[in-house]
Amino acid sequence: MELIRGIHNLRKEHQGCVATIGNFDGVHLGHQQILQQVREIAARLRQPATVMVFEPQPREFFAGAKAPPRINSFREKVERLTEYGAERIVCLQFNSRLRQLTAEEFVQQILVDGLGIAHLVVGDDFRFGCDRSGDFHLLQKLGPEKGFSVEHTQTFLMDNERVSSTRVREQLVKGNLSEAARLLGRPHKFSGRVVHGRKLGRTLGVPTANLLLGDRKPALNGVFSVLVKMPNGLPRPGIANIGLRPTVDGLVPALEVHLLGFNGNLYGKRLNVFALAKLRDEQKFDGLEALTTQINKDITQCRQFFMQHNAQWQPGEYWLASDLAKLLAPAPLTQAPL
């Protein structure tokens, strides 16, 4: 996979592709269907399967802090798009200059001069250009003039309702992780490197691996049973707090995960944390003693969750969750059939 940041980094050798455009937040089953469609056409035309995304996402540009929380970080999005067959990802900075392009200018400067696009796959509700003046019908009109063809995607339905990032996000905010996983094709995931924290968990007898979420406002908030893909690729059950940690006056969103039965150094290592079930909302306690009491209750509840899913305890060593381990593998490329 090749990641190209900015239209100015497109070179002559990048001319020619089969592309789709969108936010692809979550890379859910509907997105996977689009990617499958792009892959099949790209293979037929012998062109690279290309995905164009924007940073920040347009709604974040316009709404700022009031924008809805992201499902995935940019890095997680790139990883997911690659898993589902994107050979080239073009990331454009969404700024005042880009938003001021007319629909016709967007087609000429970005799609034709920049990408040399051969074929475009977009939803029939796709809008682009200044004031969202461009639509699928304009692309159908301009395509033959500019030397590319265009087709729309089929709406992906589940329970007679369109699968969308908004629908996934709503389920995450509600804590309905099993439903969100059904729409995503796998459990919701956080990823990042373990950083040094305040070491408070260690003093409470519950050491944690801390992953910073940057300025990303997570869709999840609370305490969760999680499955962690370790640096060696093996799964390990754990319990995670996602949020601001109000009892200790946290200021930025963070993920703290306690790995059941694990004792080791993970600083600087990259972890993938899959949220499986919500245990409770994040809350502020009257002090560290009350916090510690609740943490121990949470851990007991978390252990019960994994026991219910046939996890097995290896005394003094670690948890094995053989029937849950498959959740860490990417869903097959045929997950979202046409």
The tens digit of pLDDT for each residue in 158-177 reads 888 999 999 999 999 999 99
Distances from the Cα of 187 to the Cα of 34, 98, 241, 250, 290, angstroms: 20, 34, 17, 27, 31
Residue 241: which H helix or E strand, with range? strand 235-243
Q: Which domain CATH number covers 129?
A: 3.40.50.620
Whether 333 maps to a domain, the answer reads no
Whether 179 maps to a domain, the answer reads no
Quote the domain boundaries for residue 269.
187-328
Whether 86 maps to a domain, the answer reads yes
Whether 336 maps to a domain, the answer reads no
d(CA 134, CA 147): 18
Task: State the Cα angle at 164 between 161 and 167, rounded to 5°.
Answer: 75
The tens digit of pLDDT for each residue in 106-144 reads 999 999 999 999 999 998 778 898 888 889 999 999 999
Q: Do 197 and 153 reside in the same domain of the chain? A: no
Q: Do 193 and 84 reside in the same domain of the chain? A: no
Beta partners for 277?
225
> pTM to 2 decimals?
0.86
Q: Do 45 and 154 reside in the same domain of the chain? A: yes
Whether 307 maps to a domain, the answer reads yes
Q: Which of 161, 196, 226 is where one domain is finished?
A: 161
Domain count of the fold of the chain:
2
> What is the residue-wise DSSP string for 56-73?
S-HHHHHHGGGSPPBSS-
Q: Which of 146, 161, 176 is where one domain is finished?
A: 161
Give 337's pLDDT tier (boundaries 50, 70, 90): very low
Calculate what percentage of the chain has a pLDDT beyond 70. 86
